[in-house]
Structure 1
Amino acid sequence: MKRQELWSAVVVCTCIAVCLAFIPSSWAEKPIELTFSVFFPPTHAHAVASMDMAKEIETRSNGRVKITVFPGGTLTKAPAVYAGVVDGISDMGHSVFAYTRGRFPMMEAIDLPFGYPSGKVASRVAYEFYNAMNPKELKDVKVLSIHAHGPSVLAAKKDVNSLDDIKGLKVRCTGLSSKLAEYLGAAPVAMPQNAAYAALQKGVVEGTFCPIETLKGWKQGEVIDHVIESKALGYTTSMFVVMNKKKYEALPEDIQQIFDEVGAEWVEKYGQVWDDADQEGRQFVEELGRNIHGLSAEEEAKWEKAIHPVIEEYQKKVEKKGLPGVQAVKLIQELLAQ
């Protein structure tokens, strides 16, 4: 009897072992759960792009990774997204370098008015610049993706056709675009994008420097009357998707590779989103009946001359800190020429 019981136990154990061997790893393993803080509002094309990025990582991991996205600054506000990732408040974060002014001196170079023709070009240049320079300021996170918008415009409540018109105009801006405002004679008002609508509506600011997509994506076209285009405003605003370094390093190597590959692929995807959104933004303000125009050739030359010192000032400032400002500007110009 004992022998029969022993044999039955052996058979049962063998069956259990065989069954366990055939259970998919995605069933046997508990998913790696991560949080992703995104400053864009949930309906914005870039919030959607970030959600798609998270889904792509989940799909390629065969369910071994689960990412919960918190759009609209619901987990960490726009200026706190980067620090939130470093401190572990969120595992991943998507926001703007310029919202933490002074923390990213090398990445500031990307935002200078080099005359970026499109979001795809600006995003490629920004990502390649990061890879080439490998700045120390980003050593406390794992950089997954970097992107940047296409050329900016001045969206204002009053029409602007000259330097005299913009003089003293209260313009919402961030980072180095505040320097453009100063050199053009405007009054810069540092403010994140998500505060601009109410500020324009209430008259706290009279205009905003932004890519034209913002006028639809953030609905700001509803509270402005004029859109002024100029090569002098051909700056960009670079943005990051980063991950908590310890969380990344704790991932299995094959999962790390998925994050690396998807992050690199999303540089172009984010760039294309910018370009598509710019087209939609232009159409949006046209349908609202807003006045869109450029400057006269004579006035355009004045604006470009007025903002030229911004690049030289940047180089001098970062060189004094022992950072390669001249090299940074040269590299960006070379990448743009490719």
Structure 2
Amino acid sequence: MKKSVFAASTALVLAFAPAVQAQEVTLTLSHWVPPVHTVDTLGMVPWAQSIAEESNGRIQVDIYPAQQLGAAPDHYDMARDGVVDISFINPGYQAGRFPIIAAAELPFLVSNGTSASRALHEWYTQYAEQEMGDVHVCLVHLHEPGTFHATRGPIAGPEDFAGMNVRPPQGTIARLIGNMGASPVQVPVPEMREILSSGGADVTSGPWNSLRLFGVEDIVTHHLDLPLYSVAFVWAINLDVYNNLSDENRAVIDNHCTSEWAERVSTPWAMQEREARPYFVETEGHTMYTPNAEQLAQWQELSQELRAEWATNATAAGLADPAAALADLEARLVAADGAYQP
């Protein structure tokens, strides 16, 4: 396949790959965010570089960013069907398809995208084969908690969103939007600027730096100052590719599919998002809305409705005891210092 000039991260990986032996395996890793995104430059590139080093150059990972090989919502099927070897997936882009991992989409669950990612990876590996058995789940992690950003305000309480068109980050928040009396407009984040600038959406969702990265900070100037939700991401490997690796090469990959790597690839991204918030607080023309006690109670009541719905959906998907599973996730988050802090 001809390589795009935009696959700059591939060149970085190759530059660090040891020349001790010729590569025996070349894997394509596809994602849908820009090549300058931190999850690429400080997540995927070091991950691929480490694989090259540990394998003494036997395994090369070529990274294709920005939807070069397929649209964002298609990335699970791309890995499953062998269109790519490894893909970066937002399971929430296909709402209802992966109801177990949707627990990570619930509001008021996590406090960060770093240690919480380690806890989520450890939790979901118990269920990955049940829910995503037609791929090999390598890494599971989160982004720093996000919130809503609007073209107009106020947006402090759920009732403020009534009648608005809102771009959700994943399926659970799409249902929250509907329960607020707003209308979800389902487009992936690479299409966020287009839908906002055209007037097709009044509100978007995301962590803070995503507004600058995707060029919408001049459009959405009203912000709900509440760490409301996160998004789970999965790095999936085509099952045949994984199973056909030599034992030696598979061991290298397994060493890079760990909870430690889940936290490592998510940490630079989380820190960048965290550090971006003061820009919006301090920049003229941007307005922050902090819910009062009554409004916060309304947000939390909606969250409880979503938890009950998650349990129903997870039960239908074959999860034997959703209450125990969610309690286990919350306990792991507390132990990892990654649980939501009121």
Q: Residue 136 of structure 2: which of 122, 133, 142 is its match?
A: 142
Alignment of 1:225-264 (within 5 A): 225-230=221-226, 233=228, 235-264=229-258
Identity among equivalent pairs (%): 27
Q: Which moved more, 1:81-90 or 1:216-225?
A: 216-225
Alignment of 1:294-333 (within 5 A): 294-324=290-320, 325-333=322-330
Partner deviation per Cα, 1:52-104 (whole Å, 9 max, x = no partner): 21122112211111111100110121111111111111111112111122221
Query: Is contact 2:136–2:238 with CA below 8 Å preserved after alignment?
Result: yes
Alignment of 1:91-110 (within 5 A): 91-110=85-104
Tell me how far apart the structure 2 counterparts of residues 302 and 218 of structure 1 sit (CA, whole Å): 30
Partner deviation per Cα, 1:19-39 (whole Å, 9 max, x = no partner): xxxxx9944x55311111011
Tell me how far apart the structure 2 counterparts of residues 236 and 37 of structure 1 sit (CA, whole Å): 22
Partner deviation per Cα, 1:228-268 (whole Å, 9 max, x = no partner): 1235x2x2110011111111122122221221112323211
Q: Which amino acid aligns with 1:194?
A: P
Partner deviation per Cα, 1:170-217 (whole Å, 9 max, x = no partner): 110121111111222222112211111111111110011222231123
Confirm whether residue 124 of structure 1 aligns to residue 118 of structure 2: yes
Query: Is contact 1:109–1:328 with CA below 8 Å preserved after alignment?
Result: no
Partner deviation per Cα, 1:99-119 (whole Å, 9 max, x = no partner): 122221211111112331110
Query: Is contact 1:146–1:239 with CA below 8 Å preserved after alignment?
Result: yes
Query: Is contact 1:45–1:217 with CA below 8 Å preserved after alignment?
Result: no
SS in 2 for 1:104: coil
Tell me how far apart the structure 1 counterparts of residues 98 and 27 of structure 2 sit (CA, whole Å): 25
Confirm whether residue 59 of structure 1 aligns to residue 53 of structure 2: yes
TM-score (norm 1): 0.86
Change (3 A) 1:152 1:258: same
SS in 2 for 1:117: coil
Query: Is contact 1:122–1:149 with CA below 8 Å preserved after alignment?
Result: no
CA drift at 1:298? 2.2
Tell me how far apart the structure 2 counterparts of residues 164 and 157 of structure 1 sit (CA, whole Å): 16
SS in 2 for 1:263: coil
Q: Which moved more, 1:161-170 or 1:172-181?
A: 161-170
SS in 1 for 2:114: helix
Confirm whether residue 214 of structure 1 aligns to residue 210 of structure 2: yes
Change (3 A) 1:284 1:25: closer
Query: Is contact 1:221–1:284 with CA below 8 Å preserved after alignment?
Result: no
CA drift at 1:135? 4.2
Alignment of 1:15-94 (within 5 A): 26-27=20-21, 29-48=22-41, 49-94=43-88
Q: Residue 166 of structure 2: which of 153, 167, 171 is its match?
A: 171
Tell me how far apart the structure 2 counterparts of residues 318 and 247 of structure 1 sit (CA, whole Å): 29
Query: Is contact 1:39–1:77 with CA below 8 Å preserved after alignment?
Result: yes
Partner deviation per Cα, 1:135-159 (whole Å, 9 max, x = no partner): 4121111111111112221111112
SS in 2 for 1:239: strand
Partner deviation per Cα, 1:263-317 (whole Å, 9 max, x = no partner): 3232111331232121243144346432223111222122212332110111123
Aligned residue pairs total 312
Query: Is contact 2:19–2:57 with CA below 8 Å preserved after alignment?
Result: no
Larger helix proportion, structure 1 or 2? 1
TM-score (norm 2): 0.85
Query: Is contact 1:197–1:220 with CA below 8 Å preserved after alignment?
Result: yes
Q: Which amino acid aligns with 2:38?
A: A
CA drift at 1:328? 2.5
Partner of 1:273: 268
Query: Is contact 1:97–1:239 with CA below 8 Å preserved after alignment?
Result: yes
Tell me how far apart the structure 2 counterparts of residues 161 and 30 of structure 1 sit (CA, whole Å): 55
Give RMSD over aligned pairs.
Answer: 2.0
Tell me how far apart the structure 2 counterparts of residues 283 and 72 of structure 1 sit (CA, whole Å): 27
Any stretches of 5+ residues in structure 1 without a counterpart? 1-23
Change (3 A) 1:56 1:134: same
SS in 2 for 1:190: coil
Q: Which amino acid aligns with 2:120?
A: A
Q: Which amino acid aligns with 2:56?
A: N
Tell me how far apart the structure 1 counterparts of residues 103 and 159 of structure 2 sit (CA, whole Å): 28
Larger C-alpha radius of gyration, 1 or 2?
Answer: 1
